[in-house]
């Protein structure tokens, strides 16, 4: 095992590959200044990063070749979408199909950007993220040699969704894959973004460090679907940082499977009044997986509303964390913010830590937060049994039903179908349900 | 069909059924009436096999076999059906999935061929129509956001699809307006075929205007204190339960 300090030094030594025109120097020093999380770091208390230190992931960059048949089989049937497929963080043109939007200048790689786009990147990259708190985002910045810019033009509604697929391909030796997305929606722009994280084969040798930044300018609207259904051996640290200007509307629907170590940070900052944010998610962990969901909503301006609702399904010997924080600043009067987290904890050996947090400094707000941890409802089980369904199948159906409630809200039939298929495979392999599933 | 003999049952250490005996022959409709807390719903739940109801003594023979030996799902497959007083809401599982899983399980047990999805869909839609239920509600979560009337009609729908031999209706009339009551009753009456037996648990004789029973039993403090014909219900309605206690 590598010591945390050696890891940091090794990470710092990798900086030279950064894109030269990025004059975002703060992030380098920020990374140098940021401390690696330990057990004493509150934000990482329940998620030791030992998995990350056990292998020499930083020794090399992951190779970008994937088995094409496998890769194609992973894709959702989003026929009208502009599809961008990254294999271990690197764009794969053969699997992608986004020439329309590329030609219009809506989507571009950082390395192929024109001066105007570079200016846009320099203007916004890293602004939605507080690097001192997000070490891995700072690390991502520090060696940024490529990224994807999505630039939604003002007052336009993009007819086709932007479908980003992050595919992990198996590696012979431990390797690092980094990816970076910056989405800037100009005033009045409207679009749908689908982020789909998936794998072809075992990810035992992969560390994926991803950051998506979203900047919504006044009146912009974004519908965001996030699907994380990767192989369970993966180490994946994911930061999503959203800035909402006045009158913006952001809506997210997500599903995430656990893995060896999975960390999802979602950070929303309201920079203008009258903006609305809606986040709906479900996370599932089984076997010895680990998943950590950290949400932080910065209500810095008045008259904004947010609604956050997460469900967790935790079983076998897995561990899951949910931390949802609503921070209402002093001037953020007339804020309305609600957050809840409902969990199903099915096994005695599984662990769940949930912490909804409200921090309020304004005096005229409407807020609620809550969390619950439960088991399968006896009444519901009996209802199934009284209809001839055996207890084991009833349990399996109730588990799926618990998760499905969130899946049904995903505003895309194609993604719902993809998720349904992955869920069937997920449940099929839950130790506790193993003998029961298979309807 | 069903022979209950000296049945004593407890819930949380408290005796609720205190020696009930009841014989139901094929095709008969028995109404169980009685004041709150007399054990009516407990009887229905014990027969369906709900956890938490402990049978201390007595016996229940169903079609000649010991019913109490069976798991709830086995009872259901053998033809015992309980229409719930408070049907459970199960978001995330569609009514269609639930009904199909249920019918599949029961048909498999009875060595009947499994219905394929289109055939099942057709059957379910037909039954919906006869119960004045919008077929759209097959797509919704089980009982999720259903009105009281819809929930009860959903119970009757399940009953119609599962074709049980013994139907236990636990206060199917509670929470129903007159129109919904009539529809539910018609659904039940349509299932009366001279072979299928019914036990109706109810507070009010109102339901019995629509589903006419062969026998009426009055339950009090866990015992049947009076049995009679249809006219007993009317007498109860006029005089109240205190008359019998």
End of a domain among A255, A272, A289? A272
pLDDT over 90 at A393, yes or no: no
Which residue in B93, B81, B100, B14 sits closest to B54, CA to CA?
A: B14
**A245 and A383: one domain?**
no
Residues of chain B positioned with their CB less than 8 A from the CB of A393? 101, 105
Task: Give residue A24's pLDDT band: very low, low, confident or very high (50, 70, 90).
Answer: low
pLDDT over 70 at A161, yes or no: yes
Domain annotation covers residue A63: yes
Mutation for B interface: A376, A386, A439, most B CBs within 10 A: A386
**A196 and A54: one domain?**
yes
| Residue A302 vs residue B206, higher pLDDT | A302
Q: Measured between alpha carbons, how far is B192 from A346 in angstroms, rounded to an integer?
A: 43
Task: Give residue A435's pLDDT band: very low, low, confident or very high (50, 70, 90).
Answer: very low
Share of residues in chain B with pLDDT > 70 (%): 100
B190–chain A Cβ distance below 8 A for any pair:
no
Residue numbers of the domain that contains A390: 376-439
Q: Quick: pLDDT tens for B14-57.
A: 999 999 999 999 999 999 998 888 899 999 999 999 999 999 99
**A380 and A268: one domain?**
no
Domain annotation covers residue A295: no
Backbone phi and psi for residue A204, each to the nearest 5 degrees, phi listed first: -60, -25
End of a domain among A272, A290, A314? A272
Task: Give residue A437's pLDDT band: very low, low, confident or very high (50, 70, 90).
Answer: very low
What value does the mean pLDDT take over residues B199-214?
Answer: 91
Q: Quick: pLDDT tens for A163-173.
A: 999 999 999 99
What value does the mean pLDDT take over residues A138-154?
Answer: 92
End of a domain among A272, A293, A327? A272
**Sheet containing strand B65-66, strands side by side:** B14-24, B2-11, B53-62, B65-66
Domain tally for chain A? 2
Domain annotation covers residue A190: yes
**A53 and A188: one domain?**
yes
Comparing A32-41, A246-255, A298-307, B62-71, the range with the smallest average pLDDT is: A32-41
Pick the CATH number of B2-92+147-243 from 3.30.465.10, 3.30.300.30, 3.50.50.60, 3.40.50.300: 3.40.50.300
Domain annotation covers residue A293: no
B76–chain A Cβ distance below 8 A for any pair:
yes
Considering only the beta carbons, identify the residue of A380, A382, A393 that sits closest to B101: A393
Could you tell me the two tokens for A392?
A: 């084991």
Domain annotation covers residue A76: yes
What value does the mean pLDDT take over residues A1-27?
Answer: 81
Comparing A117-121, B103-107, B145-149, the range with the smallest average pLDDT is: B145-149
Q: Measured between alpha carbons, how far is A1 from A4 in angstroms, rounded to an integer?
A: 9
**Where along chain B do its domains lie?**
2-92+147-243
**A98 and A234: one domain?**
yes
Domain annotation covers residue A254: yes
What value does the mean pLDDT take over residues B217-230?
Answer: 92
Residues of chain A positioned with their CB less than 8 A from the CB of B168? none
Domain annotation covers residue A287: no
**DSSP assignment letter at A59:** G
Task: Give residue A307's pLDDT band: very low, low, confident or very high (50, 70, 90).
Answer: very high
Q: What is the pLDDT of residue A15?
A: 62
* Residue that the structure tokens 């298929």 belong to: A421
A284–chain B Cβ distance below 8 A for any pair:
no
What value does the mean pLDDT take over residues B141-170?
Answer: 92
Domain annotation covers residue A209: yes
């Amino acid at each position: 095992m590598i010591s945390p300090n050696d890891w940091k030094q090794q990470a710092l030594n990798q900086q030279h590959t950064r894109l030269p025109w990025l004059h975002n120097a703060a992030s380098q020093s920020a990374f140098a200044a940021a401390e690696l999380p330990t057990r004493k770091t509150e934000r990482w208390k329940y998620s030791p990063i030992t998995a990350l230190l056990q292998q020499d992931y930083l020794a090399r960059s992951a190779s970008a070749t994937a088995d094409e048949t496998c890769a194609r089989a992973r894709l959702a049937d989003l026929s009208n979408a502009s599809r961008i497929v990254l294999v271990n963080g690197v764009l794969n043109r053969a699997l992608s199909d986004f020439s329309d939007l590329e030609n219009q200048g809506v989507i571009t790689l950082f390395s192929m950007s024109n001066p105007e786009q570079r200016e846009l990147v320099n203007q916004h990259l890293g602004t939605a993220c507080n690097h001192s708190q997000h070490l891995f985002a700072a690390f991502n910045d520090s060696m940024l040699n490529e990224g994807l810019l999505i630039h939604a033009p003002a007052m336009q509604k993009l007819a086709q969704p932007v479908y980003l697929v992050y595919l992990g391909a198996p590696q012979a030796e431990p390797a690092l894959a980094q990816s970076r997305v910056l989405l800037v929606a100009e005033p009045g722009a409207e679009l749908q973004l689908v982020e789909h994280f998936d794998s072809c084969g075992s990810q035992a040798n992969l560390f994926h460090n991803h950051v998506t930044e979203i900047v919504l300018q006044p009146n912009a609207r974004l519908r965001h679907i996030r699907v994380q259904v990767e192989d369970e051996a993966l180490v994946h640290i994911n930061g999503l940082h959203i800035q909402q200007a006045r009158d913006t509307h952001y809506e997210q629907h997500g599903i995430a499977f656990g893995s060896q170590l999975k960390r999802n940070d979602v950070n929303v900052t309201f920079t203008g009044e009258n903006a609305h944010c809606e986040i709906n998610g479900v996370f599932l962990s089984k076997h010895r997986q680990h998943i950590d969901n950290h949400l932080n909503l910065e209500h810095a301006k008045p008259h904004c509303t947010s609604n956050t609702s997460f469900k967790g399904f935790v079983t076998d010997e897995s561990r899951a964390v949910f931390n949802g924080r609503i921070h209402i600043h002093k001037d953020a009067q007339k804020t309305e913010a609600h957050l809840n987290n409902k969990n199903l904890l099915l096994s005695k050996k599984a662990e769940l830590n949930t912490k909804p947090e409200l921090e309020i400094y304004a005096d005229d707000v409407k807020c609620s937060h809550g969390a619950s941890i439960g088991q399968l409802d006896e009444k519901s089980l009996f209802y199934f049994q009284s209809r001839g369904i055996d207890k084991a199948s009833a349990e399996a159906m109730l588990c799926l039903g618990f998760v499905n409630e969130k899946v049904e809200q995903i505003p895309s039939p194609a993604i719902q179908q993809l998720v349904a298929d992955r869920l069937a495979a997920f449940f099929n392999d839950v130790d506790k349900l193993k003998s029961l599933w298979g309807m | 069909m069903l022979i209950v003999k000296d049945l004593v049952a407890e819930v949380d250490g408290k005796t609720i059924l205190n020696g009930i005996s009841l014989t139901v022959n094929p095709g008969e409709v028995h109404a169980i009436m009685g004041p709150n807390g007399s054990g009516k719903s407990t009887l229905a739940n014990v027969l369906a096999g709900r956890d938490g109801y402990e049978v201390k003594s007595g016996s229940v023979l169903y079609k000649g076999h010991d019913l109490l030996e069976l798991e709830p799902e086995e009872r259901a497959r053998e033809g015992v059906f309980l229409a719930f007083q408070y049907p459970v809401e199960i978001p995330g599982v569609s009514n269609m999935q639930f009904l199909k899983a249920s019918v599949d399980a029961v048909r498999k047990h009875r060595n009947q061929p499994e219905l394929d999805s289109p055939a099942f869909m057709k059957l379910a839609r037909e039954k919906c129509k006869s119960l004045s239920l919008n077929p759209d509600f097959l797509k919704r979560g089980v009982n999720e956001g259903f009105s009281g009337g819809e929930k009860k009609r959903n119970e009757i729908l399940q009953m119609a699809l599962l074709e049980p031999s013994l139907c236990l209706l636990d206060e199917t009339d509670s929470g129903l307006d007159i129109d919904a009551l009539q529809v539910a009753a018609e659904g039940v009456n349509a299932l009366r075929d001279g072979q299928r037996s019914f036990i109706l648990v109810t507070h009010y004789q109102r339901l019995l205007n629509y589903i006419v029973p062969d026998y009426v039993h009055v339950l009090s403090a866990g015992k049947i204190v009076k049995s009679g014909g249809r006219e007993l219900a009317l007498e109860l309605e006029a005089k109240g339960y205190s008359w019998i206690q």
